[in-house]
Amino acid sequence: MNSQNSIIEIAKQTIELESQSISNLSNFINQDFEDSVSCIYNSKGRVIITGIGKSAIIATKIVATLNSTGTPAVFMHAADAIHGDLGLILDDDVVICISKSGNTPEIKVLVPLIKRAKNKMIAITGNPESFLGKNADYVLNTFVEKEACPNNLAPTTSTTAQLVMGDALAVCLLELRGFSSKDFAKYHPGGALGKKLYLRVSDMSDNNQKPIVNPETTIKDVIVEISEKMLGVTAVVENNQIVGIITDGDLRRMLNKSTDIAKLTAKDIMGSNPKRIDYNAMAVDAKEVMESNGISQLLVEKDGHYAGVVHLHDLIKEGIL
């Protein structure tokens, strides 16, 4: 291969082939699929997912997806299972066995052992007539016409199909459980994703200084307050109620318009009716308000009283933006 066009064409063919195979999976969603979902949902145990080779890698991803969406799952490598790890399976567990051919040696050894223990077994296989398919309680067909590999050997399209079938299971179970964004946050407390689900405005504003002046504060003192609190803004407050806001931009515009600022006070240059957000609002809500209004700071209110400032930099620091 020596042509960029050839590279692009091969990539497009790969994507097209896999997308067609995935689309065809919908034809295999049948009563066995529905029964598999019900079996897992009604089980008092966990989901044990096993496989070997590339199927084992897909199994670990499906395990992660199930765990993060409210269905307890454990990965068990098929080769390790027949050398001691079979003890992972408890009486009420449901076993999902993933194998493209359904006839690999490890699968042929493992399947009878699972059946002997009387655990319900779900097969994810591209060959329902295989040893695995014939011995499973339920069969989820992931047949593909061809691997994306030009030699039709390297697991590509087939493993993608397995992964998508696992996603379909997970999403159905998620819906049955009424799994909400709050539940999702409970399982994803770390990183930017988790913070989007649980971080509140108060978590950020409480860590900031609280710039505040009153309407009669002199411009000199306004400048000092904004500089000292280092948020580029101050609230103008009267009787603990927000009546205005002064930003760095307001100060610059004032200097351009006036040559005598000695007699000016905060009320002369403040912006009235500033954008504000509730103390208990989610951080993502603050992000949306800032973005929709093209601003960098929001004044925070708690029970109708001034409670501080949340800044664009806070959102960036927390990975929300």
C-alpha distance from residue 16 to each of 20, 142, 147, 155, 164 (Å)? 6, 17, 12, 16, 16
Burial of 125 (0-12, 13-18, 19+ CB in 10 A): buried
DSSP state of 24: H
Reported for 167-172, long-range contacts at CB under 8 A and 24+ positions apart, including other chains, are: 167/62, 167/65, 168/25, 168/29, 168/33, 169/33, 169/36, 169/37, 169/40, 169/62, 169/66, 169/140, 170/62, 170/65, 170/66, 170/69, 170/71, 171/69, 172/37
Cβ atoms 148, 18 nearer than 8 A:
yes
* Residue 77 in marked binding region: yes
CA dist 80 and 66 (Å) reads 22
DSSP string, 96-129: EEEESSS--HHHHHHHHHHHHTT--EEEEES-TT
Binding-site positions for Zn(2+) read 77
Binding-site positions read 77
